[in-house]
Structure 1
Amino acid sequence: MPLSRRVGLAVAIAGSAVASTVLPFTAHAESTVLYVDNAVKCDDKGTGAQTLPFCTVQAAADMAEPGQTVRLAAFRTFTGQVTVKRSGQPGKPIVFQGDTTYGSPNTTVDASGQGSTAVHAFVLDGVHDVTVSDMSIEAPQEAVLVKDSTRIALDRTHVNADGTATGPGATANIRVTGTSANVTVSRNRVYAPPVAGVAIDAGVTGAVVTTNIIADGTGRGVLVTDAPGTVVVSNTIARNCGNDLELAGNSARATVENNILSKDPAPRGCGVLVPSTVPLAVSADSVQGTKADYNTVVPLARSMTSYSWGGTAYATPEGFRATGQGAHDNAADLRFDNSDRPVATEGLTDAADPDALGMLSTDFYGKEPADHPSIANTAPSGYRDRGAIELQDPLAIYLGGVAYSQENHPLNTRFTVNYYPGWGRESAKLDFGDGSTPLTIASGDRVIDHDYPAAGFYTATLTVTSQASGVHKATAGVYLNPVAQPRTQFWWSSSDRSRAQITLNAQSVSPWPIVRHVVDFGDGTAPTVSEGSNANPSITHEYGVGGSYTITETVIDDHGRNASYSQTVGVAGPQAGVPFTGYFGGPTSHNGLYDNGTWALSYNKSDSRLNSSWGFGNPGDIPVVGNWDYTCQCQHAIYRPSTAAFDLSRRDGSISHVPFGNPGDLPAVGSWDRNGHDQVAVYRPSTAEFWVRHDDGSYSSLHFGNPGDVPIVGDWDGVHHSQFGVFRPAANPWEPNLFIFRHDDGSYSTVTYGNQGDLPVVGDWSGTGRTSYGIFRPGNHQFTLNNAYAGRPDNVYTIYNNIG
């Protein structure tokens, strides 16, 4: 980033130092990029093309030309030392660039990898115009060593040397040494090993250390030795065991501004070292011409030394001003988050000198300065924060959208809105992108549903206008599929064998509400019309004579779209009856048929032999089997849908009349109270709800299944009490039926079994203690009972009732 403009030699040096660090980098043409990726097919003897990259960084470094970028793949670790031997040109540096897609480096160069004997990760010796950026760099000794090199930039990296290498010389994470000139170290996260995080050695000129976070090290933060004119500006140097910033030897004419230099909170693992060190130490030979100002300097304890200036100790910024320096220094109260981001504080926020040498136009994270509306600007011009991070308006917004079709709302989109206010007064609007009136949004988290007028792609925009930080926008794109056409079919039944009468139950679906049904029963009579919001009406029709009839149903939704379905049915003779299941003695369930008040029971699950029959109920009743009297055997009962009442046959011969439910409900009795006998319950097909009547007279309900489903009840879990379930008849002749079982933990499981026209039966056919499933096929009077739980083949047998 460009430096602030100042007049003088130091400006010229510093300006040239960062001329090559303008970031983010401009994308190069394909031919100017050399790719490195060791996790795909690669070749160090190739050309570094994206389709066949180099395997090692060193191979790319040995081929790079001025103006080329060596692109290191994201989420890769490259081991060994990289020795840069080739140079760029002024304005055309060789760039080694990793990846920072998620805000921190995702690429690593690690000299200390397994089997490596390297001491450094990057060595730049005798080269010029080279930039290293956007990666994590690790090594046993100096992770980055710059020697006798010019116009070098190290930007936006994480650097760590563990100090475990043997050999001469002490360890610094980044060392600039020899006759190096115009080297810029900017926006890096650096840890300080035994000597320093950043070391600028004797003979170096024009070095700029700016906008770095150098913290949590065992040595000094920045050590400048015999390197006059060094610029150390806008860094956060904190919690280091040694002096945070030290100008040693003759490092005169330095610039030290806008830094946070802090030992509070105390660094860890330093022993007795910390009390003898200071945030800012300047040797006697480094005082001449050095400028120190606009720094926040915090010692380990308020009574300890903050400055060592030419050999004299100063405990506070106020005392330090006697030297003619630090006119704007302070010891503001520092509180950092986990990313070393300070809390907004007077004397720290909007309290830096924007015109200081070495200032970048953006901060550690690439963010531009933000003016806090509640904190006064204390610099002569503009507003900048001290340290490496510019505090931003904490206003945060997020908008997510997903097509979320709901019943009767096929073009609905569900938006997730997160809006947290910031420094100033704000207004927020959500524009759905379809021409409708934007919605005013309050702060917080919320979910908003919106119906779009037509299918297609829409872009919604959340706009927050802040008096503190201007206009902020978040967008969400959503594609809405064309709305499905309505579909319909029906199933029919006849409960009275003596009459040619059928009941048609529609099974119609449409993304929008179905408002009209027209049924032509195929006998020349006027079609039956049903209007209203009932998507699946039940319609009864009586034919004059039995025979074969083609029934055609047409449905129309509230958008004027229609669908039709036809089926030929045979209406003649006695019907097969309605299947029932129960424990009537013995360890397993038994099956039978109910027909117009006559019950026919078979104990045998292999042939058509009937064992008993009796009369109970009237035509149109539904058979019910349950344990009403606390016995091991079941008793029979009927449910009369027309009057919504149960008649329970008791062991003593009495009849209990129990009104419950609404006309049209279906019985669903079971052991709901878990007290040794069954309770009555109904299922409401129109709303897909179970209603249970408990022994104490209270009621409970559960929504489960879809309208038009048929209730089933059983002990699916083998826990000696009942669970709910539904049977969903096949919609088409080529589709199977669907059983859906709800378990005690709220989950559900499904199984397909049988074909269209089958009726469901459930029971424990094999004595496993767990309810299984099966079907009864009226066309051939055949039961098919699943025995998967017992590991045996299904039972398939036929029963004819005593009438047929």
Structure 2
Amino acid sequence: MRRPRPAVGVPVAVLVVAGMVSGWGTGEATADAESAGTLYVNHDVACSDSGAGTQDVPFCTVQAAADVVEPGQTVRIESPNNNPYSGSVTLTRSGTKDAPITFTGAPLGVGGSRAVLAWPGSAPALTLKAVHDVHVESLTVAYDDGDGVAVTASEGVTLDRLTYNRPVLSASGTGTAVTVDGTSSDVTVSRNWIADGYAYGVRVEAGAARVTATTNVVTTPRQGGIAVSGTTGADVTSNTVFTPCATGISLDGGSAGVVENNVVASAAARQSATCPAPTAPLYAVSADSAGGVTGDYNVAANGVGSSARPRAEYSWAGASYATTAALRDATGQGTHDIDGLNVLSLAAPSEHSPLIDSADADAPGELSADIQEAPRVDDRLVADTGTGTTHPDRGAFERHDIIAVPNGDYPSPATGVAPLVTSFKTGATSSWGEPLTYSFDFGDGSAPATGTPGDPVAHSYTTPGRYNARITVTDADGTSRTGYENAAVAGTAVPPTASLSGAADTTNDGQVNAGYARFTIPKPADAWEIAYRTLTYGDGSQENLAVDAQQAEHQYPAPGTYTATLTQTDLLGRTTTAKTAFHAADAFVPMTPEYDTEKTIPAHGVLKLSAATLQANSNGVDAAQLQIVTSEAKASGSLTLYTAGTTRPGTSSINFEAGRTATNEATVKVTPTGSVDLYNGSSGPVTVEVATVGLHSHAQFARTYHPATPVRLLDTRTGTGGITGPVAGGHSVTLSVAGTHGVPTGADAVVLNVAATTTKGSGHLTVSTHGISGSDVTGPYWTTGQTASDQVMVPLVDGKVVLHNTSRSSANLVADLVGWYGPTANGAEYQPVTPARILNTRTGTGSGRIAKLGAHATLKLKVTGAHGVPASGVRAVDLNLTVPTPSGSGYLVAYADGTSRPGVHSVDFTAGHTAANGALVKVGADGEIALYNAGSTSVDVYADLLGDYAVHPVG
């Protein structure tokens, strides 16, 4: 079987060198007297260079282990995170023949270390200096310049299965992967993989003795692949060298030895600008070495036919030979050499290649396994032309039987509820037609089952789970291949339960994006059983989810109640669902009022207000809270605010009389572009001023509303609020709001009902944010002796507001707390509705009978479950209350049904004058509000619904 070639530069374990010898530990390491034979190096864990190098507390650097290793010990270098070891390493300690010192990397899959030679690379990555009986194996050496491994004045050294990463390329080549100096002997360099770009792959210097280079791969050396100089007992066997630039294998300086079973390919495709049209021979033996060198069973892959390159295959004793035949005829060398072919890939030879089973099995240094540790085997499809009984192929790679194990065979049945009885089989085949056996590992810890391809094997999975059966198929030579069948799923009796919850997105300081949902989806029990999960958001969009615990975020396009559904489908095709309702609503953005427009609206005319005019053209704005001031009216009437492009509702936003100024705050739904219409229902023109005092958005982080139990904060008649006596004309009073009656110090805005009474002259009231000039909100207008009130929203900075009497005469001032906007905890979110008159005592709407609200009488009004208001979770409703042409004076009190009537005013009215006022009214637990007539005469009452405040989520 062919085993996959490891990628060049992919480490089993790697030593990284970057500058001077350095490490992460401190102090001097000491050998562990109680050592079991292994010293550990792992700088990815808690390590110490002054410790004993145990697995629990390993050394941080390779050098620390090299300084204390004893004969018989192994230095195991690990790096699970593949972090490089930085530092040029020098070993000066030796083993014995019976107890060598071994340096090894971690097995594949555990992780590796990376050894990178110091920049600019004056020292080798690893130096073995005057040592003996040392093995270095399963490491990767990666560096930028200079040499990789240097063996100096040493003997009994083995460098096996080392990988050398590609260095920085230059025209002349850089460094040598393996250098053996002239004072070293008995050195074996085996199964090393040397990447492109080195000056030399393996270089042996004059004076060395008994050096074996076997089963190595060298690609694109710049000056020489395997170069041996002045060395006795040199064996160069079964190497594969791709050499477009330089001589692949050379012996000179009086060297003596054997060159057998090698493949040297000219590899024209690997030429580059740094190696143009080379003329060096593939093999070279100098005149002073020719008498001591024997060469045979080698391959000179210099191209075939028209692809042959103008390059000699051999240089022997100073003479150049273009072909193997010419060499054989002239020198008697290379009797079994092969040429006239291309070798194009670094892999086992293709079937029927002349390289197969044609090598000398008895060549000095010939290994029983190839560079990929695959054993040398007999190819049944190829006649043996080599010698010996182990049937090696030429070069570093061995052709193996190709065992084809079909991928994706399904057990039958593949799924079912545990216990699941199923059957496995395989149609594995041998390219050599050899008899095969298989072993099935069912993946559940039970004993494997054996058989032959085509024969099914039954198995029962008793415990629920997903099982990957592994099959290993083996031929008569012991070649094997392992594959996986598709999973068998033994399901639980019932599918895993789905779970879903949601909440609006909030910030650390309590702001909320009331239309942006964060859904929490926990990891289900038996998560292995889930095939996929889908979350539909209830607005036409959906998302596929992973099985792990997670949060899914979604911005809804408009206010409303949406049902999100999580659907889980398990591996058996069963589905479970979980649902949760998300109430996408609005959070409130208070604004310092600026009068956006001043226009005169003709009788029965419409004033169109654009999004830009209302400052409502920002993200997700669904409603604008406006203050309207009317003046210069020629006749009595009312104005109606409504969404542009919709049917005008039968409601009123402000009532006015000829020759008198009026003011009110009202909320209006806007179109997606923010536009609203303002209709003049009067028979005469009226001038209006409109200011935006706040916005309601489902896509901005803002504040929620907290309705208060109405309470009086200021009454200059009684000294409530710390001020006693009428406020003189042109004077102001400052009222502390935050920090009292449940309003926190961090509140962003307050809703007040402000009034003037016992007025000595006409005038009006303004309310402003303390410390902010130009923040005035217009309060009620009055005439001499009139009591007038208005509900206003005022932003807070330091928790205080300023009430200013603009009249020339004194008046007593009153302020009642309605609610406040601030942090999200327990706050309510807004949802605007299409304006609707939900109470009209003249028609019986809302009250159930046509009758005025009697003096000192209370009317209960259901406000939830209709007109777009949810049936539950409602904390307050946004109303406009009107008392039309009352026959007497008095006031209304609006409050939550089921609670004690507060001593506050909601609408003040005077005989003969229609009075209207915005009112945010707290809702009782039964979904009703109460309206109390504190006057001495019966009055009609209208209530127009504009929206509601509800807790999140609803439902």
TM-score range, shorter chain: 0.5 to 0.7
Q: 1:226 and 2:242 equivalent?
A: no
Deviates more, 1:199-208 or 1:398-407: 398-407
Would the aligned equivalents of 2:239 and 2:262 in 1 still touch at CA under 8 Å? yes
| Residues 45 and 402 of structure 1: CA distance in aligned 2, closer, same or farther (over 3 Å) | farther
| Residues 794 and 471 of structure 1: CA distance in aligned 2, closer, same or farther (over 3 Å) | closer
Q: Distance in 2 between matches of 1:471 and 1:119?
A: 43
The one-character-per-residue Cα deviations of 1:531-562 (angstroms, maximum 9, x if unpaired) are xxxxxxxxxxxxxxxxxxxxxxxxxxxxxxxx
1:222 CA drift (Å): 0.8
| Equivalent residue, structure 2, for 1:177 | 181
| Equivalent residue, structure 1, for 2:36 | 31
Would the aligned equivalents of 1:738 and 1:750 in 2 still touch at CA under 8 Å? no
SS in 2 for 1:319: helix
Deviates more, 1:467-476 or 1:194-203: 467-476
1:451 CA drift (Å): 6.9
| Equivalent residue, structure 2, for 1:775 | none
SS in 2 for 1:389: coil
| Equivalent residue, structure 2, for 1:294 | 297
Would the aligned equivalents of 2:213 and 2:235 in 1 still touch at CA under 8 Å? yes
1:392 CA drift (Å): 1.6
Q: 1:144 aligns with which of 138, 149, 153?
A: 149
| Equivalent residue, structure 2, for 1:111 | 117
Q: 1:83 and 2:86 equivalent?
A: no
Deviates more, 1:345-354 or 1:411-420: 411-420
Report the AA paired with residue 65 of structure 1: E
Report the AA paired with residue 51 of structure 2: G
| Equivalent residue, structure 2, for 1:72 | 77
TM-score (norm 2): 0.45
Would the aligned equivalents of 1:81 and 1:122 in 2 still touch at CA under 8 Å? yes
Alignment of 1:149-160 (within 5 A): 149-160=154-165
Q: Distance in 1 between matches of 2:53 and 2:184?
A: 30
Q: Distance in 2 between matches of 1:438 and 1:162?
A: 48
1:101 CA drift (Å): 1.2
Q: Alignment RMSD, CA only?
A: 5.0
Q: 1:320 and 2:327 equivalent?
A: yes
| Residues 341 and 62 of structure 1: CA distance in aligned 2, closer, same or farther (over 3 Å) | same
| Residues 259 and 451 of structure 1: CA distance in aligned 2, closer, same or farther (over 3 Å) | closer
1:142 CA drift (Å): 1.2
- Number of residue pairs aligned between Structure 1 and Structure 2: 494
TM-score (norm 1): 0.53
Q: 2:282 aligns with which of 266, 279, 282?
A: 279
Q: 1:422 aligns with which of 416, 431, 436?
A: 431
| Equivalent residue, structure 1, for 2:373 | 366
The one-character-per-residue Cα deviations of 1:454-508 (angstroms, maximum 9, x if unpaired) are 5599997747564676776778899997974xxxxxxxxxxxxxxxxxxxxxxxx
Would the aligned equivalents of 2:205 and 2:229 in 1 still touch at CA under 8 Å? yes
Report the AA paired with residue 317 of structure 2: G
Q: Distance in 1 between matches of 2:447 and 2:36?
A: 46
SS in 2 for 1:59: helix
Q: Distance in 2 between matches of 1:391 and 1:230?
A: 27
| Residues 348 and 767 of structure 1: CA distance in aligned 2, closer, same or farther (over 3 Å) | farther
The one-character-per-residue Cα deviations of 1:142-188 (angstroms, maximum 9, x if unpaired) are 111111111111110112473799xx998322110031000110000
1:133 CA drift (Å): 1.0
Q: 1:130 and 2:134 equivalent?
A: yes
SS in 2 for 1:452: strand
SS in 2 for 1:154: strand
Q: 2:350 aligns with which of 335, 340, 343?
A: 343
1:95 CA drift (Å): 0.8
Report the AA paired with residue 249 of structure 2: L
Report the AA paired with residue 350 of structure 1: D
| Equivalent residue, structure 1, for 2:7 | none
SS in 2 for 1:60: helix
Report the AA paired with residue 264 of structure 2: L
1:132 CA drift (Å): 1.2
Q: 1:381 and 2:388 equivalent?
A: yes
Would the aligned equivalents of 2:122 and 2:146 in 1 still touch at CA under 8 Å? no
Alignment of 1:201-212 (within 5 A): 201-212=205-216
Would the aligned equivalents of 1:100 and 1:135 in 2 still touch at CA under 8 Å? no
Q: Distance in 1 between matches of 2:262 and 2:949?
A: 77
Would the aligned equivalents of 1:373 and 1:468 in 2 still touch at CA under 8 Å? no
Q: Which segments of 5 or more consecutive residues in structure 2 lack a partner in the other structure? A: 1-33, 497-531, 542-562, 582-668, 673-868, 875-947
1:274 CA drift (Å): 4.5
| Residues 387 and 750 of structure 1: CA distance in aligned 2, closer, same or farther (over 3 Å) | same
Report the AA paired with residue 36 of structure 1: V
Q: Distance in 2 between matches of 1:112 and 1:270?
A: 27
SS in 1 for 2:76: strand
Would the aligned equivalents of 1:186 and 1:210 in 2 still touch at CA under 8 Å? yes
Structure showing greater relative contact order (alpha-carbon pairs closer than 8 Å, 6 or more residues apart): 2
SS in 2 for 1:231: strand
SS in 1 for 2:278: helix
Alignment of 1:401-550 (within 5 A): 406=415, 411-412=420-421, 419=428, 421-426=430-435, 452=460, 462=471, 464=473, 466=475, 484=493
Q: Which segments of 5 or more consecutive residues in structure 1 lack a partner in the other structure? A: 1-28, 485-508, 512-704, 706-713, 720-736, 755-765, 770-781, 798-804
Specify the structure having the higher radius of gyration (Cα): 2
| Equivalent residue, structure 2, for 1:101 | 108
| Residues 784 and 366 of structure 1: CA distance in aligned 2, closer, same or farther (over 3 Å) | farther
Q: Distance in 1 between matches of 2:381 and 2:73?
A: 46
| Residues 196 and 118 of structure 1: CA distance in aligned 2, closer, same or farther (over 3 Å) | closer
Q: 1:62 aligns with which of 67, 78, 81?
A: 67
Alignment of 1:382-781 (within 5 A): 382=389, 383-397=391-405, 406=415, 411-412=420-421, 419=428, 421-426=430-435, 452=460, 462=471, 464=473, 466=475, 484=493, 716-718=538-540, 751-753=578-580
The one-character-per-residue Cα deviations of 1:403-436 (angstroms, maximum 9, x if unpaired) are 9984567515586968464322556778698999
Q: 1:162 and 2:175 equivalent?
A: no
Q: 2:267 aligns with which of 264, 268, 271?
A: 264
1:87 CA drift (Å): 0.8
Would the aligned equivalents of 2:419 and 2:463 in 1 still touch at CA under 8 Å? no
Would the aligned equivalents of 2:472 and 2:483 in 1 still touch at CA under 8 Å? yes
Q: Distance in 2 between matches of 1:464 and 1:405?
A: 21
| Equivalent residue, structure 2, for 1:653 | none
| Equivalent residue, structure 2, for 1:307 | 314
| Residues 471 and 33 of structure 1: CA distance in aligned 2, closer, same or farther (over 3 Å) | closer
| Equivalent residue, structure 1, for 2:817 | none
Q: Distance in 1 between matches of 2:55 and 2:108?
A: 19
| Residues 369 and 792 of structure 1: CA distance in aligned 2, closer, same or farther (over 3 Å) | farther
| Residues 364 and 438 of structure 1: CA distance in aligned 2, closer, same or farther (over 3 Å) | closer
Q: Distance in 1 between matches of 2:423 and 2:195?
A: 46
SS in 2 for 1:207: strand
| Residues 228 and 431 of structure 1: CA distance in aligned 2, closer, same or farther (over 3 Å) | closer
Q: Distance in 1 between matches of 2:315 and 2:137?
A: 34
The one-character-per-residue Cα deviations of 1:232-271 (angstroms, maximum 9, x if unpaired) are 00100113411111112211x2210000011134432255
Q: Distance in 2 between matches of 1:373 and 1:132?
A: 36
1:196 CA drift (Å): 1.1
Q: Distance in 2 between matches of 1:43 and 1:169?
A: 38
| Equivalent residue, structure 2, for 1:499 | none
| Equivalent residue, structure 2, for 1:633 | none
SS in 2 for 1:95: strand
| Residues 109 and 234 of structure 1: CA distance in aligned 2, closer, same or farther (over 3 Å) | same
Q: 1:330 and 2:330 equivalent?
A: no
Report the AA paired with residue 117 of structure 2: A
Report the AA paired with residue 277 of structure 1: A
| Equivalent residue, structure 2, for 1:249 | 253
